[in-house]
Structure 1
Amino acid sequence: MTEAVQEQILCPVCGGPVKVDQQDKVNRCEYCSSPVLGPSQSRNCVNHPDILAKEVCHVCGDLVCEDCIQKRVGEYGGKLLTIVNCDKKSCVAESEWAKPLNEEYQKLANMEWADRIDNVILRITGLGAIIMMIFELIFFLWIIFYQFLTPWSIPQISLDFLGPVIMIPLTILLFCILGNLLSAILLQSALQVYVHDRQLGAGVTLLVILILEVAHLLFRGLFFNLLTLPNPLFLPVMIGAFLFGTILVFIGSLMAIFIGNKKRVQLKEAREKLNLSLKEGIEDLI
């Protein structure tokens, strides 16, 4: 006796297969958790059988019309999500973490236009920051290699105001730790360009850290006298990689500043149009 094959339909949001556990009720996509209507489910509101439903309650999965909808907005992963629930007490309680939606302000402050460019900015700055981190790691390993495994080395340096002689390995370690710290801050800032309300600040931070990173590299080059390295290819290759990462971060930071400022102006105009204060605007949006 053959087992019955469970019916599957495709999720309209992510395109993943959805197992139809309930023919006449909402099924959940196991990939994105989106509600998917059952094949034989009524498309009318559960409270008003003669009215076509407009939304699906994100908590219980019931179909509801405009009169039964409660919309809220919450922040998740740096983006704003609209939460829909019906008027049942249990569903309202489950959605209380999100704030009631000011639909007029939401329309004026809608930033879906920036989703695509935000992804581009994130990829550009993220790739550049990762290249910078890899550069710092390789730079440290190569300097240690040249210092201890080749005839080339850096002489000891005496800094009178510090008293005793500073041993070069410690100096190398400190400079490289600082370089890796800057690159880590760079990567962390690059990840913030995807968040609407942090994008402008993240772009400015990226520029500042980038300037410090470039200055730090130039100082290390002069301090360690890297032009005397025995391998003629090491310095050009490292500088090329550093420049590539720098250009990516620089372009991404400028884009983040431009788009972030555009969003700031959009929110400001939305608040002014609705006569909202800054605090009220933020509370209505987030």
Structure 2
Amino acid sequence: MRVAIVGTGAIARGSHLSALTALAAEQPLEIVAAVDVDVTAVRAFCADAGIARPYTNLDRMLAEQRPDLVVIGTPPRFHRDQTVAALRAGAWVWCEKPPCPSLEDFDAIEAAEGTGDGGPYAAIVFQHRFGSGSRHVRELLAGQAMGRALVAHCQTTWYRDEAYYSVPWRGRWSSEGGGPAMGHGIHQMDLLLDLLGPWSEIRAMAGRLVHDVETEDVSTALVRFENGAMATVVNSVLSPDEVSRIRIDCERATVELTHLYGHRNADWRITPAPGVPTAEAAAWNDFGPDVPSSHEA
């Protein structure tokens, strides 16, 4: 598999490159090129990673290298055009979240995909769905082993200072597409949706309480799911005591995940209701071999 990386910033260095390197040890995979508008940055990235061909032009790279997979880690405003270009060149796409700033952009990406098993298709990075913990809890909830899901809380309360928003594309509708709901809390909200299914009703508020940006820096919501469960959702970049948390109260147990930027088995806890047999509760808390949530997973 021939892979190209588009965007050589922190997410490419810290997550995508390490995941691809790990996968390359298990299957035939070669990172053949990287693309960035900053020629100095892309050359340094390629030199550090042992990638042979740095580019500053995406179309030229696609024409010359014909990659099988394009990994995109650029700001959201570029996701639509770069994904469509890669799909039209015959490459599958793995794009960093959030997908794109609008539903119109999303429709354009979908229209550029192939059909049938042959693809090519585009996928979005939502790594918190993956790993042994989320897989185990998803199976328990799907089978209603703990009874019906009733009440949930979804919390992404992080802290970002002024220096964080000094990056020109952050905090702007046109380039980032939203504040902490779109760029930060989207991970926990996606995991909540993956565990409980689609929601049917949302009432929400968003505010700009501290940062001098266009988008919000805090949002809250009340949510009703199609299965009848009800939830609160809080997203913030104003919270010095940072935490990511999901709690789901079922008829026979409470499931809670508490972590920050990624979870392992030890970050999950299942508390049985009174009267649940000890052996059954022990089985719920047996998550199996530990596979952390990650880009690699």
The TM-score with structure 2 as length reference comes to 0.22
Structure-1-length-normalised TM-score: 0.23
